[in-house]
Structure 1
Amino acid sequence: MPDLHWTIPVARWSFWPAVASAAPDVGFIEPMTRRRLSTLSRAALKVAHDCAADVPAVRVVFASRHGELGRTTEILHTIDAGGTVSPTSFSLSVLNTMTGVLGIVRGDRTAVSALSAGNETLGYALLEAHAQYATDASSPVLLVYADEPADPAYGEVEDEVEAGALAILLDASASAGRLTCARAERSEAAREPFASQSRAVQHCLDTRAASEWRGRHSTWQWFWHEGA
């Protein structure tokens, strides 16, 4: 694969760490739906709302390596035990559960994409969001990434993800700065790499300092630039 290099306009961003002492505030969702949501979907919806609550229509790119695997695992355990699976649990077990809930809550029928690309999921989601915005900059694009480690029942997962959620709103008309993303074939660069892509990107957005993540076959880097 050729080396890749692109820049996105960042209007807003929001991060929710799994180690937060309080639960994500999703009070904008009606109680009956709210009670049924997993911790993953709550975190994803919280950061999405932070970035796009006042945006009338927004294209969404949702990304997750495992998605609602936790709920799917519970369903499999229920079946294995001879129990009955709730239709609601089944309907909320798909990878992009939160995008459906978000669209209903917002009354927004704008296009939604969902992707999963192993331990490079966030990097390729940033590329997809860039491609959509570069193709049509007439409306913002909201990138939402949310993940959590797989259940131990699945065994060891190489370069496992860290739990948490991150949202970035791409909108040049309200840009606070620009995030440059780069992917190159695996290299041993001088910069100290982060354990996961999500931690590296969040560090770059938070501190404005360059960050790097190295996978088995590629190295990803992120750089912040002030202003539009």
Structure 2
Amino acid sequence: MERILIKFTKNNEARFISHLDTMRTLQRAFRRAGIKVAYSKGYNPHPSLSIAAPLSLGISSNGEYADVELSEYIPQEEFIKRLNEQLPQGIQVLKVIYIEKKLPPSMSAVMGAEYHIKLKHNLKFEDLTDVVNRIMSSKEIIKEKKTKTGVKMVNIRPLIRDIAIKAWNVDSVVFKCYLCAGSRYNLNPEIIVDVLKEYSENRIYGFPEIVREDIYSIEDEKWIVLDEYFSGK
């Protein structure tokens, strides 16, 4: 058995592929590429493949991850070439890491994510900065959030690690947001869109363009990109 972590993109039209269809797309690509994925044991064996953090429909990503177990070793460069030749436009493997240490499944390691959110605005730069500062200085931001027990009003402020202005011009702005993500705590970036609009009294507006740039784990109380966490860098 060879356990690997693959890092891949999900952009352009691929952002409209659902989580389950993404799994099926990867499984079909493995078969067509002739890469032997190991199967689970039991009455209903299935490919040993799991995605670290499902992505909401319509959101692009430059840093998705999947845990895979192979029944053979394939050099990284050959693996990437063979699999990318079988994947649709928008989904491309960027990196492959052979996991030597005993580490948790990638979905258990996920603690946060970096999102870039582009919106329209009609504010001065200092007013945009003020919006961000007021959000970050708030002790409570109460929003409706889906939980395992239903929809509840919760304080999402502890789930926001940071928000900053990445780029801006006279009518659009890109916010860089670090949000909690994973099975324990997860904040949908679309909720942050609502918060930005609310704190600007809707002077930040429009349909958002959201890109998940990367996914993070925590090591020594610091956020670390998932591929670095699993490669031991």
Relative contact order (C-alpha < 8 Å, sep 6+): which is higher?
1
Rg (Cα) greater in structure: 2
Shared fold by TM > 0.5?
no
TM value normalised by structure 1: 0.27
More strand per residue: 1 or 2?
Answer: 2
